[in-house]
């Protein structure tokens, strides 16, 4: 029986759970917010409302326009617990809402139990619930807002040009209180701001004046140990000493732009910092600030879409799902993947496998391929047998006999060659980007391109010889 190909059996990344807003993963959309409580896992989506999962991808309720469960909103940007078992929910372009999950039975009941609270600006990015029940609210375009829940009134704090004691910028993404009663604000492009409720003044910190601050684009904040504040910035993680006002950017040697872009922060029970990036999740180890990325995980994670539950499990929302894990169960040292060839094509068409064909057996078992001179366009496909999260592995290849250096091709898993001169070549390919990949042996196969034969071959060789002679003569004349 003819072999048809190779079946790739991918391992699951160890101890990582994944959840989808539709419960199945058939319709993947960005997860803007995530929260876990006694009801289950709440997932706030980018355009499809709110989902409640009771257990591993088992849908309990959809709260969106297309169901009778009730409509909360389309773009759920933030979910924060209030008192009496209710939630405060921030919805893009629809302001602030209070949600009572225990009252949800029908659409009409939901609409009654999600009162719309009108504040001075309706693009809410973050919510800080105070012991009094009042709220500090971060908005995009409207600065900082204080909302008195008892009298249903709000007071905005905006940037005032020419006033250095006003808010640094009106695009506020995240809030974090400190032990002294001050409020810290992350802004998009205007650095870090601190509001002192006693003096009612702001103090602003920008990278131009504080060299340790890697970027003025700050996406998330997290209180750290030893009176520190962690900043998720566009150029990497930053630790801020609240006593000395000194910023320290944690080095990320070798990390690309996507991995440097930190979008969410959580702290585990051991004091380690976990950060969602635009390309995976990393751990910053307490004590030495050593950075390690979870192997095989390449999701583009969403701004501030992260949560730690009472058991210490961490949840991160990405552009297509939620990943969750217990930090102590993550393995950073993973086996290096195996490279293999998966397909070979001539002129973009599959090659049959038989005794008279270029392929005598499946490409993964071949050691050498011999091509005629007129088989001038061929493609080789390859894959790294890695984990289920490895759809974004980067590769580089080298054609020995033609190339001196390795060539990067990103996530492309096919290389096409055209019009190779006759000769002996060795095609090699390997994965790059993870520490474990350094141990991976490149997949390689010999390729021989035969010269033309007969009268045509002799004519072509004569032409080559003539052109070569003309080149030599020209050089001598010059």
Tokens in use for 436? 């474990």
Question: What pLDDT, on the 0 to 100 scale, is given for residue 103?
Answer: 67
Q: What are phi and psi of 345, to 5 degrees?
A: -130, 145
Q: What is the pLDDT of residues 60-105, one digit of tens each?
A: 666 665 655 566 788 999 999 987 788 899 988 888 888 888 765 4
Question: Rounded distance, CA 115 to CA 220, Å?
Answer: 28
- CA-nearest of 45, 99, 52 to 74 is 45
Q: Which residues of 447-470 are buried (b: 16+ CB within 10 A; e: fewer)?
A: bebeeeeeeeeeeeeeeeeeeeee
Structural contact between residues 282 and 293, judged by C-beta atoms closer than 8 angstroms: yes
28: left (phi over 0), alpha (psi -120 to 50) or beta: beta
Query: Where is average pLDDT lowest: 12-16, 281-285, 341-345, 441-445?
Result: 12-16
> Residue 454: in which H helix or E strand, if any?
helix 454-477
Question: Rounded distance, CA 322 to CA 57, Å?
Answer: 10
Question: What pLDDT, on the 0 to 100 scale, is given for residue 80?
Answer: 95
5-13: average pLDDT: 41
Q: Tell me the three state secondary structure of residue 463.
A: helix
Q: What are phi and psi of 411, to 5 degrees?
A: -90, 0
- CA-nearest of 305, 295, 339 to 427 is 339
- CA-nearest of 432, 428, 433, 404 to 415 is 428
Label residue 1 by pLDDT band (50, 70, 90).
very low
Query: Where is average pLDDT lowest: 118-127, 371-380, 469-478?
Result: 469-478
Q: What is the pLDDT of residues 335-368, one digit of tens each?
A: 678 899 999 999 999 999 998 899 999 999 999 9
Tokens in use for 130? 């105070």
pTM of the model: 0.76
Question: What pLDDT, on the 0 to 100 scale, is given for residue 145?
Answer: 94
Structural contact between residues 448 and 399, judged by C-beta atoms closer than 8 angstroms: no
Q: What are phi and psi of 233, to 5 degrees?
A: -115, 170
User: Which residues pair with residue 75 across a beta bridge?
Assistant: 46
Burial (Cβ within 10 Å: 0-12, 13-18, ≥19) of residue 296: buried
> Residue 260: in which H helix or E strand, if any?
helix 257-260
Question: Rounded distance, CA 201 to CA 180, Å?
Answer: 15
């Amino acid at each position: 029986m003819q072999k048809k190909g190779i079946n790739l059996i991918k391992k699951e990344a160890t101890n990582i759970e994944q959840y989808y807003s539709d419960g199945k993963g058939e319709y993947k959309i960005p997860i803007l917010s995530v929260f876990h409580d006694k009801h289950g896992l709440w997932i706030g989506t980018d355009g499809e409302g709110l989902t409640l999962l009771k257990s591993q991808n088992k849908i309990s309720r959809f709260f969106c326009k297309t169901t009778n469960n009730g409509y909360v909103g389309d773009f759920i940007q933030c979910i924060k617990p209030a008192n009496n078992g209710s939630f405060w929910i921030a919805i893009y372009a629809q302001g602030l809402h209070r949600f009572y999950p225990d009252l949800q039975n029908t659409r009409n009941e939901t609409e009654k139990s999600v009162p719309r609270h009108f504040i001075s600006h309706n693009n809410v990015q973050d919510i800080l619930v105070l012991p009094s029940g009042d709220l500090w609210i971060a908005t995009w375009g409207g600065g900082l807002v204080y909302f008195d829940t008892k009298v249903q009134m709000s007071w905005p704090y905006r940037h005032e040009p020419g006033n250095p004691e006003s808010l640094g910028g009106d695009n506020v993404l995240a809030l974090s209180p400190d032990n002294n009663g001050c409020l810290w604000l992350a802004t998009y492009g205007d650095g870090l701001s601190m509001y002192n409720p006693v003096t009612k003044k702001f103090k602003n910190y920008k990278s131009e004046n504080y060299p340790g601050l890697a970027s003025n684009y700050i996406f998330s904040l997290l209180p750290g140990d030893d009176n520190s504040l962690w900043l998720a910035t566009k150029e990497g993680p930053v630790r801020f000493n609240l006593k000395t006002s000194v910023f320290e950017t944690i080095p990320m040697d070798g990390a690309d732009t996507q991995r440097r872009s930190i979008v969410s922060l959580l702290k585990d029970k051991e004091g380690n910092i976990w950060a969602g990036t635009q390309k995976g999740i990393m751990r910053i180890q307490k004590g030495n600030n050593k950075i390690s990325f979870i192997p095989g995980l390449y999701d583009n994670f969403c701004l501030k879409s992260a949560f730690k539950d009472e058991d210490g499990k961490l949840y991160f929302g990405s552009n297509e799902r939620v990943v969750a894990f217990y930090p102590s169960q993550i393995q950073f040292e993973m086996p290096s993947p195996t490279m293999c060839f998966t397909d070979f094509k001539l002129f973009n068409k599959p090659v049959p496998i038989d005794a008279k064909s270029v392929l005598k057996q499946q490409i993964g078992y071949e050691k050498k391929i011999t091509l005629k001179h007129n088989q001038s366009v061929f493609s080789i496909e390859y894959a790294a047998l890695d984990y289920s999260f490895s759809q974004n592995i980067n590769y580089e290849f080298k054609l020995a006999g033609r190339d001196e250096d390795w060539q990067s091709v990103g996530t492309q898993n096919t290389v096409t060659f055209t019009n190779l001169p006759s000769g002996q070549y060795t095609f090699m390919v390997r994965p790059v980007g993870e520490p474990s990949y350094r141990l991976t042996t490149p997949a390689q196969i010999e390729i021989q391109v035969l010269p033309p034969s007969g009268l045509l071959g002799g004519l072509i060789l004569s032409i080559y010889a003539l052109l070569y002679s003309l080149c030599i003569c020209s050089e001598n004349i010059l």
